[in-house]
Chain A
Amino acid sequence: MNLMSTVIAGLSLGAIYALVALGIVILYKASEVLNFAHGTIAVLGAYVTARTVDILGFFGAVVAGVLAAALTALLIERLLVRKMANAPVVSLAIMTIGLEVILNTELTRQIGVDILELHQPWGTEAIEIFGALVPWNRILTIVFTFVIVLIFLAAFRFSSWGVSMRAAAEDREAAEIVGLKLNRIAIVSWATAGGLAAMAGIFLTGAPSAGLTSSLAVIALRAFPAAIIGGLDSVAGALVGGLIIGMVEAFAITFQPELSFLGLGLGDVIAYLVMFLVLLVRPQGLFGRKEVVRA
């Protein structure tokens, strides 16, 4: 594996993590909750796509997967998060953990030991770049994420939803007084986050991965360190965090033999190591806001 293929692997993995981390940050800003179940939503999206691809064809299945994920996210918001609006932050987080347990268990049970294929049209085709054989899936991931993120950033900056969301994230009470419809912001935010997660899950199951396995949830979980590294209240942070984690993991996997003194399977845990190091230096994340008050 040469440098170019590692870098591209890192970018595509980073793009996937960024998509999930972006969703995590959106939800944190919109509803002040860390949604532990977000990784499983990504798996859910991929799962629905895998199950419907034979009936609906790939693109139809993708739509189904994205809708399923968005709908699940909306249900979570409507039925659970909204009911616990006044609970302490920690209780809300634990509630999403309970949700994660249920969703994860069910998805693991459904997938079992199978490897489900999503039949991406571009299959395992690869292209040669600078002497490295790069699967189309990886390139599409990077391009798609790039486009999606640009659209999202533009929406965040200029659309009424984006402006309202930033205002609400800044000061919830003031936003309510001014008349911003927090519920509508929440609906758009959760649906978007769900959809993004589904896309991430679908890309994660493409080449060079064999398909959707029950270990996908563990991989998706690593988007959380990415979100934390960037700072939970920073959209830019989610993107940077995702890329950092993706790159570090890709290099850890490529250079596993050289790094074997740090143990086998380093790629699986290096995300958490990086998160630790960042939190040691900046407890609020790289782009997180440091509070003016001190205690």
Chain B
Amino acid sequence: MSTPKLRVDGVTLRFGAVRALNDVSFTVEPGTIHSIIGPNGAGKSSLLNVLSGVYRAQSGSVTWGEKSLMRMRPDQITKAGMGRSFQNLGLSGSQSIADNIMLGRHTLMKTGFFTGGLGLPRARGEERYHRARVMEIADFLELREWIDFPVSELPYGLQKRVDLGRALATEPELLLLDEPVAGMNSGEKRAIGEMLKTLLVPMGLTVLLVEHDMEMVMSLSDRITVIDFGTVIAEGTPDEVRANPAVIGAYLGNVEDEL
């Protein structure tokens, strides 16, 4: 069985008269880190929303391997193996770090209202097993120290890590990351980058990364797609993109400074 490719083909997303995405197409090869970059408001988050099933595009197709993701609900897409972290955080503030990461295990567990409510051994065993996995992820992301604190009491950078933990906990084959290192210091950013490149990808994870931090994007990515005003203006390896005049133009020279 070949590992699935994510194929985005001619996706157009409209909000009334505004075109958020215009005939966007690209392919993500399995086992790679593929980044989406572009100026603010270019449509990157909208793209991730379409891919994870939050928005329904008016035209085009999104296929992952054999499956068409266009008609699926977000939870069905997650169950199919796509994990996602949020820019604005999809965490349950009142719940602890442990519980939030446990939510990532939701699709891997079966306990329901009645098996859970009755406290059946099957339910308890499942809970114990997955809590152990959650602790591993928490250790991995260095979140163990505050594991029982409600997430709303933590600083933004930590919350981002919890969100990442939740996404990883779903044991995805494809991970969509929406600005995962926003709010982190350079040490934390480097650690996340390391983790992605040297640990998770070699384990078989495919990553689609939306990020503003150019240094991180350039050093991590295998391929980059550049979007501006909802349209793809460039695609290629980091070196190709760096030299592309259209990209430089879109960023009005800012990229040149950063690169």
Contacts and interface: CB of A to CB of B under 8 A. Distances in A.
Q: Which DSSP category, helix, strand, loop or mixed, fits chain A's interface?
A: loop
B73 A295 contact: yes
Interface in A242-295: 292-295
B53 interface: yes
A295 B74 contact: yes
A97 B246 CA distance: 58
B55 A292 contact: yes
B229 to A, nearest CB: 20
Contacts of A293: 49, 54-55
A292 B20 CA distance: 13
A86 B154 CA distance: 18
Interface string A150-176: 000000000000000000000000000
B56 interface: yes
Contacts of B113: none
A295 B90 CA distance: 13
Interface residues of B, number: 9
A292 B74 CA distance: 13
Contacts of B15: 292
Q: Which DSSP category, helix, strand, loop or mixed, fits chain B's interface?
A: loop
Contacts of B74: 294-295
A206 B29 CA distance: 74
Nearest to B54: A293
Contacts of B49: 293
Interface string B202-217: 0000000000000000
B175 to A, nearest CB: 21
Nearest to A292: B55
A224 to B, nearest CB: 30
Interface string B60-87: 0000000000000111000000000000
Nearest to B15: A292
Nearest to B75: A295
Interface string B39-58: 00000000001000111100
A293 B73 CA distance: 10
A233 B246 CA distance: 43
Contacts of B75: 295
A294 B50 CA distance: 11
A292 B56 CA distance: 8
A292 B15 CA distance: 8
B11 to A, nearest CB: 15
Nearest to B74: A295
Contacts of A295: 73-75
A168 to B, nearest CB: 19
Contacts of B73: 294-295
Nearest to B73: A294
A77 to B, nearest CB: 26
Contacts of A292: 15, 55-56
Please provide the 3 A-B residue pairs with the shortest distance between their CB atoms, ordered closest to farther. Answer: A293-B54, A292-B55, A293-B55
Given A294-B54, A295-B74, 9 more contacts: A292-B55, A293-B49, A293-B54, A293-B55, A294-B53, A294-B56, A294-B73, A294-B74, A295-B73
Interface of B: 15, 49, 53-56, 73-75
14 contacts: A292-B15, A292-B55, A292-B56, A293-B49, A293-B54, A293-B55, A294-B53, A294-B54, A294-B56, A294-B73, A294-B74, A295-B73, A295-B74, A295-B75
